[in-house]
Amino acid sequence: MLARRFAIPLMLLLAVAGVAGALYAQLETGDRGILPLDSSNVLEIGGIHVDVGGTDAQSARFAGWRIAQRQGFKLLWAKMHNAPINQAPSLPDGTLDQIVSSINVEREQIGPTRYIADLGVQFDRGKAAPFLGVEGAQVERSASMLLIPVVVSGGTATSVEQRNAWQRTWAQFRTSQSPINYVRISGMGSDPLLINAAQAGRPGRGWWRSLLEMYGASDVLVAEVQLQRLYPGGPARARFIARHGPDDEIIGGFTLTAANGDGIPAMLAEGAQRIDALYAQALEAGRLTRDSSLDLPPPPVMPILPEAKPAPVNPINAFQIQVSGKNVNFYNFAMAHLRTLPGIQSSTPQQINPGGTSYILVQYTGDLAQLAAALTSRGWIVEAAGSVVKIHSDTDKPPSLPPPPPPAAVPAPPPPSQTAQPISNQAAPHP
C-alpha cells in the first residue's frame, strides 16, 4: 500500500522531467534554421542563362562563365541606372575578373563540348562602384524591418520552429540591392520561442515593442506562403502573401506553381524576389509606415499647480543698542524694556557703563525702522543709523513699562431663582 501511494507522484515527476528534457533538446538542436547570408559588400545578378560550346567540357564551362560576367555587369548597370541594357558599357574580361567576387551555379548541364547553365554573378561593391558610375553603389533603404517567414503546409503554420525551405530561401536571399532593410532571423537560440507563426498573428502591442527593440528593428514584415502539393513529389501550387505591421496589413499577393517537388526551391526563390518587389513598391508609395501604436505612449501630463507665494517672513537682524543713562537703575530698566519688546529674540550685554553709555546686542525680527518705531512707542528718544540704535530719555528716569493687560472679566453667576412658598398642611378652620 505504501509503495502504491508513492507510485503516482513518482510517475508524475518522471513525466515532467521528460517534458523538460524534450523542450531542452528542442532548443538545443541545430535543425531549426540556417544563418542568413551576409551580402552587404556584394552586388549580385542572378538568372543569367548561358548555352555555349567549346573544344572540351572545361573550356566550354570557362567560356560560359566569361559570358555570364559580361552579361551580369550590363544587367547590373542597367538596374542601377534604370536604363536599357543596350546603353550599358562593355568592360574587358581582365577588369571583370578583378571586380567579380564569385559565380553562383543555379543550374548547369555539362556535356563533352557544350555547357548549359543558369548562373548568378556577384560583384565586389567597392571595386565595382567606379565602373557602375554610382558612388559606393549604395541603395537608399528603408528603416529596419523584422522579417518573419511563415509557411502554411498541410494545415500547419510554421516559421522558424523547425527548418523549412521558406526560411532557407530568405536566409539565402541577397538583400544588398533591395531598398528594404531586412532584419532576418536564423531560428537559432531563443528565436522559436520569441518569433514564431503564432506571434505573427498576435495584436498585442506591448510584446511587439519588446521584440522590435530586442532585434533592433522599427517595424515588422510577414512573408507568408501557403503551399499545396497534389501528392508527394508531384506538382505544387503556392500562394504568396506579403503582410506588413502588427495588424497583418496585406501589401499584395500572387500565385506560383512548380511542375514537381524538385521545382519547389526555384519557385520559392522566385516568390521571395517578387515579395521583395512588392515591399519595394509599397515603400515607394509610402505604405510601409510604422504604426503609431508601436510607439510608447507619452507620459501623462501633470497638472501645473499655481505656484504658492511664500508668506512674507521678517528676517532676524542683529542691532547694537546704545543706552545713555546716569546710574545702574537706568540700565536695568532699559534691559527690562528690551526683553519685553515684541520681536526681540535675544538681548546680550556687550559693555555695561552705569554712569555713561552701555552697549547691548539684540536679535530682532524686523528691520531698523521697525525696531526704532517699537522703541519710540515705549517712550524712548531714538536715533537710528545703520545697525546702531541710540536710546535715551528726556528725563533722568527711563520711561515706565506699559501696564500689564487687565485680567479677563469673569462672568457673574446668575441670580438665584425665587422658590415657591411651602403650602401648610393645616386645614382651614370651619366657620
16 located within any domain: no
User: Is the domain of 237 the same as that of 212?
Assistant: yes
3-state secondary structure string across 233-284: CCCEEEEEEEEECCCCEEEEEEEEEECCHHHHHHHHHHHHHHHHHHHHHHHH
310 located within any domain: no
Rounded CA gap, 397 and 112, in Å?
143
Q: How confident is the model at residue 154 (pLDDT cuts 50, 70, 90)?
A: confident
Chain length of the chain: 431
What is the structure's pLDDT at 6?
A: 45
User: Is the domain of 245 the same as that of 160?
Assistant: yes
Question: Which of 137, 152, 176 is where one domain is finished?
Answer: 137
Which one is predicted more confidently, 31 or 62? 62
What is the structure's pLDDT at 386?
A: 82
What is the structure's pLDDT at 424?
A: 45
pLDDT, one tens digit per residue, over 129-150 is 788 876 544 556 788 899 999 9
User: Is the domain of 236 the same as that of 379?
Assistant: no
Stated as kind and residue range, the H or E segment containing 359 is strand 357-365
308 located within any domain: no
100 located within any domain: yes
208 located within any domain: yes
Threshold 0.85, pTM exceeds? no
What is the structure's pLDDT at 4?
A: 47
What is the structure's pLDDT at 423?
A: 45
User: Is the domain of 377 the same as that of 388?
Assistant: yes
- Tally the domains of the chain: 3
pLDDT, one tens digit per residue, over 320-372 is 888 887 777 778 888 887 888 888 888 888 888 877 888 888 888 888 888 88
DSSP one-letter string for 204-241: -HHHHHHHHHHHT-SEEEEEEEEEEESSTTS-EEEEEE
pLDDT, one tens digit per residue, over 210-222 is 889 888 899 999 9
User: Is the domain of 279 the same as that of 179?
Assistant: yes
User: Is the domain of 193 the same as that of 285?
Assistant: yes
Q: How confident is the model at residue 175 (pLDDT cuts 50, 70, 90)?
A: confident
The mean pLDDT of 213-234, rounded to a whole number, is 91
Assess whether pLDDT exceeds 60 at residue 13.
no
14 located within any domain: no
pLDDT, one tens digit per residue, over 57-94 is 999 999 999 999 999 888 888 887 888 888 888 888 88
User: Is the domain of 168 the same as that of 270?
Assistant: yes
Range of the domain at 253: 140-292
User: Is the domain of 64 the same as that of 150?
Assistant: no
Please give the single-letter amino acid code of residue 404: P
CATH number at residue 209: 3.40.50
User: Is the domain of 212 the same as that of 90?
Assistant: no
161 located within any domain: yes
User: Is the domain of 159 the same as that of 76?
Assistant: no
What is the structure's pLDDT at 146?
A: 92
